[in-house]
């Protein structure tokens, strides 16, 4: 059995693997895809100390770094079920989709999250070419340009407020008849001179010229199609944690995020979690990497204290 078994090989999982291996722990990582969401990212300008990189490059660097250590990389596999140990110090089991079952004294859950998509024509085609999901990441690329934010919940309104300070103009589109964000955020939004709020506006198509986004079409409350010229669309209709397979084991919050304490511990002794799959706020690469390190150090701490049954 492993001392530490990490599920997920995005930034959080890669970092946890390196920290665990450096403690001399027998470490395994279930690596469906090294890099995780980073693989879907074009330009990255906020990975501190590297002014500019891109997703494939950073993902390859994460994998290469993990492979410099004695880590058992279980490639192209997904976990489908977690069997927590019957008592503290006991072995946890993780069933893979292949049918194999792995055992470990500690498990670090780092399965990340994915953004909910609009599912309209143009969205996939222009991803990273005007269609964006992360205002902290991609906002500065749209300096001085016109953008839309699809989604009128807290994340959509926060994104619109954030972007209004960077871009020329923001159009916020909300499908329903009113914004769902907290009132303080709505009040703030309405003070901004370069924001237009459209309610009962259903985004139906993202348009481009083959290279970049040039506009979007929405169906208004009048039932007619309307067109807006713009250079960017930020989709903010939800970040979904990849935790469906954990239901009934570790405690999740209402959004499906794994509830962790300040040490990355979950509700089950010996099971830790890190990164976008958890309640840790601000879903970012540097944060996931820090979180992975923290979870591995907590697993080490657990292993040196817990009696072996
Ligand atoms: P993830 O990166 O989501 O990795 C989780 C991994 O677990 C994935 O490989 C997934 O395939 C795997 N997995 C899921 N379920 C299972 C399972 N059951 N079994 C095994 N494996 C599983 N952040 C920045 O800091 N800067 C940016 O510029 C930036 N740009 C972004 C652009 C886009 C388009 C997107 C989508 C995100 C961006 N982010 C950016 C956010 C950043 O990518 C995430 O915060 C970060 O990748 C989270 O790391 P993670 O390891 O927690 O999860």
Q: What is the ipTM of this complex?
A: 0.99
pLDDT at residue 307 in the model: 86
pLDDT at residue 62 in the model: 98
Q: What is the mean pLDDT of each run of 10 residues along the chain (309 residues)?
A: 98 98 98 94 92 96 98 96 95 97 98 96 97 94 97 96 97 96 96 97 97 98 96 96 97 97 98 98 97 98 91
Residue 31, CA atoms < 13 Å, CB-side half-sphere = 26
pLDDT digits (tens, 9 = 90+) for 31-61: 999 999 999 888 899 999 999 999 999 999 9
End-to-end CA distance of the chain: 15
pTM attached to this predicted model = 0.94
**Cα–Cα distance, 15 to 231 (Å, whole number):** 35
Q: Decide if 138 is catalytic.
A: yes
- Indicate the DSSP class of residue 292: H
Residue 130, CA atoms < 13 Å, CB-side half-sphere = 24
Of 40, 54, 72, 137, the active-site residue reads 137
Contact indicator for 117, 203 with CB cutoff of 8 Å: no
Name every residue whose Cβ is closer than 8 Å to that of residue 205 and which is 6 or more positions away in sequence: 120, 121, 122, 216, 217
Q: Decide if 262 is catalytic.
A: no
CA of 261 to the centre of ligand 1 (A): 21
* β-bridge pairing 101-109 and 2-7: parallel
Q: Decide if 137 is catalytic.
A: yes
**Cα–Cα distance, 199 to 155 (Å, whole number):** 16
pLDDT digits (tens, 9 = 90+) for 192-220: 999 999 999 999 999 999 999 999 999 99
């Amino acid at each position: 059995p492993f001392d530490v078994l990490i599920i997920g090989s995005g930034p959080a999982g890669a970092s946890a693997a390196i920290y665990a291996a450096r403690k001399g722990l027998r470490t395994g990582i279930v690596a469906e895809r090294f890099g995780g969401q980073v693989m879907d990212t074009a330009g990255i300008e906020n990975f501190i100390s590297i002014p500019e990189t891109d997703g494939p490059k950073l993902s390859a660097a994460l994998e290469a770094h993990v492979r410099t250590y004695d880590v058992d990389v279980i490639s192209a596999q997904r976990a489908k079920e977690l069997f927590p140990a019957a008592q503290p110090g006991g072995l946890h089991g993780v069933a893979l989709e292949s049918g194999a079952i792995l055992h470990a004294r500690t498990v670090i859950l780092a399965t990340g999250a994915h953004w909910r998509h609009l599912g309209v024509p143009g969205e996939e085609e222009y991803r990273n070419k005007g269609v964006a999901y992360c205002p902290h990441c991609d906002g500065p690329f749209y300096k001085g340009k016109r953008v839309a934010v699809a989604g009128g919940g807290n994340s959509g309104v926060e994104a619109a407020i954030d972007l209004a300070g960077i871009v020329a103009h923001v159009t916020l589109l909300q499908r329903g008849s009113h914004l769902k964000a907290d009132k303080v955020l709505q009040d703030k939004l309405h003070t901004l001179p370069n924001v237009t709020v459209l309610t009962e506006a259903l985004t139906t198509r993202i348009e481009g010229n083959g290279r970049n986004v040039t506009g979007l079409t929405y169906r208004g409350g009048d039932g007619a199609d309307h067109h807006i010229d713009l250079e960017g669309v930020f989709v903010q209709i939800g970040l979904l944690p990849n935790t469906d397979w954990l239901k009934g084991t570790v405690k999740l919050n209402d959004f499906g995020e794994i509830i962790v304490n300040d040490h990355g511990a979950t509700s089950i002794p010996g099971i830790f979690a890190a990164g976008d799959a958890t309640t840790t706020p601000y879903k970012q690469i540097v944060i996931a990497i820090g979180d992975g390190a923290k979870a591995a150090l907590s697993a080490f701490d657990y292993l040196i204290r817990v009696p072996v049954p």
